[in-house]
Amino acid sequence: MSLLAEIAVSVLIVIGASFALVGSWGLLRLPHLMARLHAPTKATTLGVGSVLLASMVYFFAIGKGVSMHELLIVLFLFLTAPISASFLARAYLRAHVAPDVLPPAGEQGWATFARRSDDAHDAPATSATRAPPQD
């Protein structure tokens, strides 16, 4: 492997490792869950990204050809990161945040809370519509 390739691989790995470190540091020091969610969803995409880039450069430089696995890893990461972030946020909203703390969202409210209130409204409504025939 040429000196140039070695330098490129090292620089990419150091960049990736520092972003991963900052992501973990943010996870530790930010004050509450919603703020902490920002650190790993962002600072790690570039962290993982440049380590994978380093891997591609390395395998190309030692003559193993172009490796495509890394691109797939990046793709799957970008597909799954927003979904897991959304799950965490909604679980947090539902367990720890009152709906009136959030800004208003039209007539029906936010989806996370709407389902619960629908259930609450549905039960009495059906029992009320079924009650009269029994009487």
Partner 1 sequence: MDAPARPGASRDSRRGWLPHPAISIVLVCFWLLLQNEFSLGHLLLGLALGLLVPRLTAGLWPMPPRIRSYRKAGAYLLLVLWDIAIANVTVARLVLFRRSSRLRMRWVVVPLELVAPEAIAVFAATITLTPGTVSCDLSADGRCLLVHCLDAGDADAAARAMKDRYEVRLKEIFG
Alpha carbons within 13 angstroms on the beta-carbon side of residue 88 total: 15
Question: What is residue 98's DSSP assignment?
Answer: -
Single-letter amino acid, residue 17: A
Shorter beta-carbon distance to partner 1: residue 107 or 135? 107
How many residues sit close enough to partner 1 to count as binding (CB under 8 A)?
Answer: 45
HSE-CB for 35 with a 13 A CA cutoff: 7
Single out the residue of 88, 81, 84, 86 nearest to residue 49, CA to CA. 81
**Residues between 37 and 56 with contacts to partner 1, criterion CB under 8 A:** 37-39, 41-43, 45-47
Confirm if 9 and 54 have CB atoms less than 8 A apart.
yes
Pattern 3-42, partner 1, x by CB under 8 A = ----------------x--x--xx--xxx--xx-xxx-xx
Rule CB under 8 A: choose which of 7, 14, 62, 105 binds partner 1: 105
By CB under 8 A, name the binding residues for partner 1. 19, 22, 25-26, 29-31, 34-35, 37-39, 41-43, 45-47, 67-69, 71-72, 78-79, 81-83, 85-86, 89-90, 93, 102-112, 114
